[in-house]
Each structure stands twice: as structure tokens, then as C-alpha cells.
Amino acid sequence: MKLSELYTKTSKSIPADESSNNARLLIQAGFIHKEMAGVYSYLPLGKIVLDKISQIIREEMNRIRALEVQMSTLQPKDIWEKTDRWDDKKVDNWFKTKLNSGQDLGIGLTHEEPIVDSMIGFINSYKDLPVYVYQIQNKFRNELRAKSGLLRGREFLMKDLYSFNLNEEEHHRYYEEVLGAYFKIYERLGLGKDTYRTYADGGIFSTSFSDEFQTLSDVGEDLIYLDEKKKIAINKEIYNAKNLNKIGLKESDLKPYKAIEVGNTFSLGSKYTDALDLYYTDKDGHQKSIIMGCYGIGVSRLMGVMAEKFSDNLGLVWPMTIAPAKIYLIAIGQDQKTLDKAQKLYNLLTQKSIDVIYDDRDVRIGEKFADADLLGVPIRAVISSKHGDQEIAVKRRTENNEKMMKYIDLINLSK
């Protein structure tokens, strides 16, 4: 992409109504636009980052044999009444609306009920199980406060996976497989070493424990107690002697940390499948309950977490895997020879499918350097008339010093 073709601009001023660091940075860099508290739109560079995060998650979901679907946002009341999750007194963060005929509708805040309902007719026999489906889709939650930028949205992009198994044993095997996929996702996003499996409350989904994935961060809304040797943590919400004993953690091994929840997984038993009349017939012809699990990852929240964790006083610092481009190309000097060299290199990189932002704007070089930093592109590559043929000055966003290298080395660095 040439910067002259991109309409968004970086901005030095900090939005007055935005208190969160992640949203301030992303707005200043032109990645997102604030519609209202907790609701953001994704501008071209932000959309690229969001898509790259989604694609990593999609690949890991496909690897554990889950099939992608797309459920509706508009929700009919009846299926939610069957599980007693329609009433605002039971679930207090529904957005609701009405058909012109007066019929009440919900605006999807999660999808257990419609997913189970969509399985009726498809799951009848033990031969039809297991079933694993996921979607990457907007969720809507009527949060009282929404001051954390992308970390707590009223409208946010989420990946939600649902599993249907024959029995608890088969469920637990798959559940552990999902946790493995989650670790791979955080690893690929560069969050691996700071993200921990954390025991937590079952919430509105379940009555037993659930697992959270918590990424250590000073802006985290959660407090967790971490056993650094075992790499397991427990959420403050359920931190007591009885639970520590149940999980096998010792108070003396634990240290408190602020953290952000970047994923959660729930064993649901047959609560939803029973309530919505979804059963299977076993080999002997007996009707049996279907054991279900649900597994969430906040995609837009992850973008916010990464903006918080991967940034410094100059701006964003994206890892290669999700950066809007791998290389930020700058030409020093406006003489035709240098511009031609830059254009040729741009063509070469594009040909090799290496995402590159070419800053072809007619602005001061200092402004280009500052924008390269603010946008957080991992590699800055500068072409100058002073350099030899096929030579380029390369600086990583995470390092201070430029290095001269050949084009071929730049290409290898970008893989």
C-alpha cells in the first residue's frame, strides 16, 4: 500500500473523551474510529490487523476439526426463555429491540441457545457426534461502563466455539485440545509468555469452575494469583483455601498480578442441550444427554491488549504476525533516481507478497520516521541516493540502530 492512497492520517492530539491507552494509541495512529463509549469502527489499517488476528484464530480452530458457521445477531425470545436467560433480571446486559409487529427480539450477546437449536435435526444418534462449530462474529453487551477502549466493548468481535460430545470423558479430552489450541493462538500473537491458564468462576454459563486465559498487564481489570513454576493461576473471585486445595495450589507459591482476560472456556454439561430438547440415542436405543462446552476469545479485545502491551512512547509496536504491514519503506531525497529505486523495491516486495507500506508522501523525513514508529510497523527500510546498489538501511521497530543490508536480506527478514 502506498501512503498517498490511504486516507487515514496519524494525529498528535490525544482524543479528550478517550481515557484508555489502547484506544488513544489506535485512534492517533488512524486504526480505529470511536462511535461512542465501547463502540469502535475499524479503519483500513485496523481492519487489516483485526483480520490477521481472526485468521490466526480461524486456522487453529480448523486444526481442531471445528467447522465455521455464522449465526444471526437478531434473536427470537422463545429459545432463551427455555434456558431462563431472557429476563433482564436473569441476564442484565441484553440489548433488546422489537419487530414492527411488536414481537420482542434480543441482540446476540452470546450464542449457546441458537447454536443448540440449529443442531436439532442434525444430531439424533451417537453416530452424529462429536460436533464442533465456531464463528467469528460481533457480540453486543449493554455494559454500564465502557471506559477501557477495546478491552470492554458494547459491540465487539468474538470467536466462539461450541462442542457437543457423547459423554463427559469425550468432552474433557476435547476441552484439553481446545486449551492447547488457545495456547498456540497466544503464542502466535506474541502473548504466549505472559498468558496463563487461570481457574475462575463459571459465571452465567455454568455452575462449576471455568478456565480463563489471563495476560499479565498493569491495565488489567482482573487480579490473579499466579504459581510461576506450575504456570497456573487462580482468579481472585474464587481465591479461598477450599478452592486452592481442590485445584492443588499452595498459597505460599502464589503471587498476585493484574491481568486481562483474553479467553475463557466453559464445561456446560447438558444444561443447554437438555433445556432445548437436544438428545441422542445410544447404541442400545436409549436416549442420552449431550455434553457441551463453549470457548470464547475476544478478537477485538486481543487487538486492544496488544496495543497496550506492544507499544512505547513513540507509538505501537506490532509483532510481525499481525502488523498491518511488515515493512515501512521510505525514500530519502526526491530525485528521480531515488524515487525509481524505491518504486522498484516496492514492486519487488509486493510481487513477493510481502506486505509493505510505501510512504510516498511529499512530507519531511522526520514526519515519515515518526509515522513509521506510531503505526508500529516492525521493519523500517530507508532508500537513499547515498546507498550502493541493492542496499538499504534497515531498522527494527524494537531496536535503536539502523543496519545496512542487501535487498535479499530484507526479504529474508520479512518472512
Name the DSSP class of 31: S
Q: Is 36 in the site for a copy of itself (CB under 8 A)?
A: yes
Q: Is 363 in the site for a copy of itself (CB under 8 A)?
A: no
Residue 254's closest CA among 265, 243, 266?
243
User: What does the DSSP assignment read for 259-277?
Assistant: EEEEEEEEEEETHHHHHTT
Cis amide prior to 324 (ω within 30 degrees): no
**By three-state DSSP, how is residue 205 classified?**
helix
Q: Is 389 in the site for a copy of itself (CB under 8 A)?
A: no
Cα 304 to Cα 292: distance, rounded to the nearest angstrom: 30
Looking only at the bridges linking them, the beta strands covering 155-165 and 291-298 are antiparallel
Shortest spacing between CB 324 and a copy of itself, in angstroms: 12
Which one of 11, 55, 240, 390 is in contact with a copy of itself (CB under 8 A)?
11
**What is the SS3 assignment for 386-409?**
CCCCCEEEEEECCCCCCEEEEHHH
Q: Is 248 in the site for a copy of itself (CB under 8 A)?
A: no
Question: If residue 377 lies in a helix (H) or strand (E), which one and from where to where?
Answer: none
Residues 122-141 as x/- pattern, contact with a copy of itself by CB under 8 A = xx----x--x-x----x-x-
Shortest spacing between CB 11 and a copy of itself, in angstroms: 7
Please list every residue from 68 through 97 that binds a copy of itself, using CB under 8 A.
68-76, 93, 95-97
Q: Are 3 and 359 in contact (CB under 8 A)?
A: yes
Would you say 9 or 173 has its CB closer to a copy of itself? 9
22 residue type, one letter? N
Shortest spacing between CB 103 and a copy of itself, in angstroms: 8
Which one of 24, 47, 230, 258 is in contact with a copy of itself (CB under 8 A)?
47
Tell me the window of 46-54, 215-223, 268-276, 319-327 that interacts with a copy of itself (CB under 8 A).
46-54
The footprint of a copy of itself (CB under 8 A) covers 5-9, 11, 30, 33, 35-36, 39-44, 46-47, 50, 65, 67-76, 93, 95-101, 105, 107, 114, 117-119, 121-123, 128, 131, 133, 138, 140, 142-144, 154-155
